[in-house]
A = this chain, B = another copy of it.
């Protein structure tokens, strides 16, 4: 949102009237408790810095998490249950949010914005992203009847497109024509970077497999966009309170998942992701995780002597051009 606002200020004609109203309503700059109040004149600049910082943090966290997972699998010394590990991580993040809140309460006292209790009207939307991820992850077991794991990795790139489309429809934020082109390129570039001699299997995916892949991409995109909507609906609300509730429901749905089957993380990289959602948006998240994927591969070359393919170089080039185009593409008039 801040990102959009910076763009909007550069070119005052670039946002439609109802766009401007909707973001003024959601985003009164003076109510934003997270910017240092001592430097109000630097507001715009510190917005930009904050945005860059959370984007960088998410990129590094995502790639280091991926590298740690590969490392722990390769080392093979610790045999742990992925499901239990995910549940523990959610619980840990929940505890961190609570600890951060206690510090804030001691410093500023309990205010309307940092108190833990919420009205039912506000809290009742918090389970929705976790529930969507649960449904998506349960579908995952059925899709493997139609596609194998490498093909599934390729199909997961449909998430990029679904996130863009839902971002436009649900959050009513606009992307310029160039930014749409950049988004298609991001999807094609990420897929290209993952190509390997067995990738062509994916073209033999039967119709139900395609349908399920599209539904899963929509669920995942919807969960991401919905999280952004929840977090940005109350911009003055302390992010630790928002995270606390997201993790509580993440834990609950992870518990359900443990009862049902072995299960992926409900909320990946929680804190960094919600920071991006609060100070940037789903689009930044998509770019951030794409770059993290490329970064992971490059680091893996040095750490695990992985092999980089020509397809990887091409994909990285395409993703880089996409990032460049996204940054120069102004929102439509």
Residues of A that sit less than 8 Å from B by CB? 154, 177-178, 181, 184-185, 188-189, 191-192, 195, 197, 199-200, 202-203, 308-311, 313-314, 317-318, 321, 324-325, 328
Which residues of chain B come closer than 8 Å to A311, judged between CB atoms? 192, 195, 199, 311
Q: Given A181-B321, A188-B321, 7 more contacts at CB 8 Å?
A: A185-B185, A192-B192, A197-B197, A199-B310, A199-B311, A200-B309, A202-B310
Chain B residues lying within 8 Å of A200, measured Cβ to Cβ, are: 309-310
| Bound Cα distance A199, B197 (Å) | 10
User: Looking at the complex, which one of B154, B181, B309, B321 makes contact with A324 (CB distance below 8 Å)?
Assistant: B181
24 example contacts (A-B, Cβ-Cβ < 8 A) are as follows: A154-B310, A177-B328, A178-B178, A178-B325, A181-B324, A181-B325, A184-B317, A184-B321, A185-B318, A188-B314, A188-B317, A188-B318, A189-B318, A191-B314, A192-B311, A195-B310, A195-B311, A197-B197, A199-B311, A200-B310, A203-B310, A203-B313, A311-B311, A318-B318
Number of this chain's copies in the assembly equals 2
Determine chain A's interface SS by DSSP, over half rule.
helix
A200 to B321, CA, bound (A): 22
Contacts of A178 in B (CB 8 A): 178, 325, 328
CB of A185 to closest CB in B, whole Å:
6
A192 and B314 contacting across the interface, CB-CB below 8 Å: yes
Chain B residues with CB under 8 Å of A318's CB are: 185, 188-189, 192, 318
Q: How far is the CA of A93 from the CA of B262 in the complex (A)?
A: 70
| Chain B residues whose C-beta falls within 8 Å of the C-beta of A308 in the assembled complex | 203
Most chain B beta-carbon neighbours within 10 Å: one of A191, A321, A325: A321
**Bound Cα distance from A4 to B189, whole angstroms:** 30
A326 vs chain B, min Cβ distance (A):
11
Rounded to whole Å, the gap between the CB of A331 and the closest CB of chain B is: 15
